[in-house]
Amino acid sequence: MKFLIVGLGNIGSEYDGTRHNIGFEVLDQWVKEHDAEWNSDRLANVAKFKFRGKQIICIKPTTYMNLSGKAVKHWYSKERVPINQVLVITDDISIDVGKLRIRGKGSAGGHNGLKDIQAQLGSEKYDRIRFGAGSDYPRGRQVEHVLGKWNPDEEIEVALQKDKACKAIEAWIVKGLTGAMNEFSS
């Protein structure tokens, strides 16, 4: 049984620590917890390992956020992963900092990375962990907000939520979507 776990973000050190890169950060932490290593491969950095007897394929697209669907489609097709065994980790400005939301199918909610994934896969029936990025920014400054770094008051809560998101990935693999939602959505 294979699972494809996708962390969304932008490549380049200038994006490290930004709200939009939380998908990369969560996946980096989870891969490290399992002593796996990232390798550069087609359209993504890829880490593969076994978790509780299941084959895990983690990817961080190297296509930039708004073109993430190309990498997801490639690895989804190459590895022949069922759509219900695909999990995407992303930021969400409609959720308060310090909150996680685990959901199955649904709209992209204005998130360009999710829009591209849905366009490339031709489906919105993949699961996702949405990591609260907050909406405390001036009108018209959304891009600056998501490409900005967490403020010092948020950093402690973000670290706690990254730990929680890693546990939520494992719950999703072991207990399925409903089990993970019941345990971790806040």
Contacts of 16 (CB under 8 A, 6+ apart): none
CA–CA distance, 22 with 5 (Å, rounded to integer): 14
Among residues 175, 153, 136, the alpha carbon closest in space to that of 3 is found at: 175
Among residues 121, 53, 122, 65, the alpha carbon closest in space to that of 89 is found at: 65
Choosing from 20, 74, 111, 145, the catalytic residue is 20
CA 166 vs CA 79, 110, 161: distances in Å: 22, 25, 9
Residue 139 in 3-state DSSP? coil
CA–CA distance, 186 with 173 (Å, rounded to integer): 19
Exposed, middle or buried: residue 139 (CB in 10 Å: 0-12, 13-18, 19+)? exposed
Per the annotation, the verdict on 20 as an active-site residue is yes
Active-site positions?
Answer: 20
